[in-house]
Amino acid sequence: MRRFLLLGLCALAAACGQQGPKKTGVPVAKGNGITITTDEFKSRLDEQSPFIRARYTTLERKKEFLDNLIRQEVLAAEAERQGLDKDPEVRNTLRKIMVQKLVQKRFQPDTNAADVAEPELQKYYEDHKAEYVRARKVRVHAVVWNAAPGTPDRAKKVAAAKKVLAKVRAEEKKNPLVFAQAVAEHSEDAASKQLAGDLQFRSQEELEKAYSKQLADAAFALKAGELSAVVESPNGVYLLKFTGEQPEMNRTFDQVKTQIAAKLSRDRKTKEFDEWLKGLRETARVTVDEKALESVEVAAAPAQMGGPMGGPMGGGHPGGVQMVPPAGGPMQPVPAGAPAPRK
């Protein structure tokens, strides 16, 4: 089916070539209803990656590439003769490509985003400063014993923590799960116990606020994979294990100004597109027959199609069409029947 579809697109390409603007350049190949010019040859070659283009510097190699173009034109002409350019599947695919081209033409993102004023950039930076400035955060897992200072249970809990610490240190090389087992067996903090003792990524200030200064200082003194000594605080007794960190980030406005400008420019383009599309829909005066829509039976997906991303053209949008210009620039459709280099 894919070969059939590709052949149909070749036929459409040939038909558009005959009805479109006159070809420019000197003909390098001619035949019945077929003409390939120097400009067309160069254009098709420029579609290839620089690595592939580098193969076609000699006359013999250029002949190979031209042979692929001729083969495509011959097949396209035959496909058109057989009426494949009118095939519903081919025409539906062509409409999808036309929509992509329309969106790219009208809403291609700016390359320099120079239209965004400096005050607007500065305001975005201040409003979203957490994206660019962040204190170092660490992640620790903890075994927790609840015991206030000066209570009879305090000494017992400290002794129990020291006993568990000795066991974990003795067994952790042979049993990587020994700390998690200690949490499950001994921890008295229900919230963190459900997460295997995970206190999650927190800054030193956040740890101090949520638990205590003693715990925060101990956590930030640890290195990757390291186990703490017994930590005593007004809130309880702890054993900590260092399991991760997020390094400090401090990006100044000047460092991210270009990035912010590009984002705000893309946001404007997206908003313009949404307004433009809304106008088109209003002009079209589209109505929906919900009763007829509800009656449509949807076939179950085959078992091997595990996710929701298996659209007709590999995208998550209806009909495989990306309706909003992507962050990295417009998506370029692959030309149907693009010549493949010979080995």
| Per-residue model confidence as pLDDT tens digits over 190-241 | 999 999 999 999 999 999 999 999 999 999 999 999 999 999 999 899 999 9
143-165 confidence digits (pLDDT tens): 999 988 888 889 999 999 999 99
pLDDT of residue 116: 83
pLDDT of residue 232: 95
Same domain assignment for residues 155 and 71: no
CA dist., res. 319 & res. 299, Å (int): 17
Note whether residue 63 is domain-resident. yes
pLDDT band at 114 (very low <50, low <70, confident <90, very high): low
CA dist., res. 83 & res. 76, Å (int): 10
Q: Domain of 24?
A: 1-106+325-343
pLDDT of residue 287: 79
Going by C-alpha positions, the residue among 68, 73, 74, 70 that lies closest to residue 56 is 68
Burial (CB < 10 A; 0-12, 13-18, 19+), residue 282, is exposed
In sequence order, what are the residues at sequence separation of 6 or more whose Cβ sits closer than 8 angstroms to the Cβ of residue 30? 36
pLDDT of residue 5: 45
CATH no. for residue 163? 3.10.50.40
pLDDT of residue 310: 41
Is the pLDDT assigned to residue 280 strictly greater than 90? Answer: no
Q: What is the mean pLDDT of residues 322-341?
A: 40
Q: Which of 249, 268, 298 is the last residue of a domain?
A: 249
Note whether residue 305 is domain-resident. no
Note whether residue 203 is domain-resident. yes
Domain count, the chain: 2
What are the strands, taking DSSP E only, across the chain? 27-31, 34-37, 133-134, 137-145, 202-203, 231-233, 236-246, 249-250
Q: Which of 210, 234, 249 is the last residue of a domain?
A: 249
Which string of b and e fits 41-73 if b means at least 16 CB within 10 Å? beebbeebeeeeeeebeeeeeeeebbebbbebb
- Please give the helix or strand (H or E) that residue 4 lies within, else none: helix 2-19
pLDDT band at 112 (very low <50, low <70, confident <90, very high): low
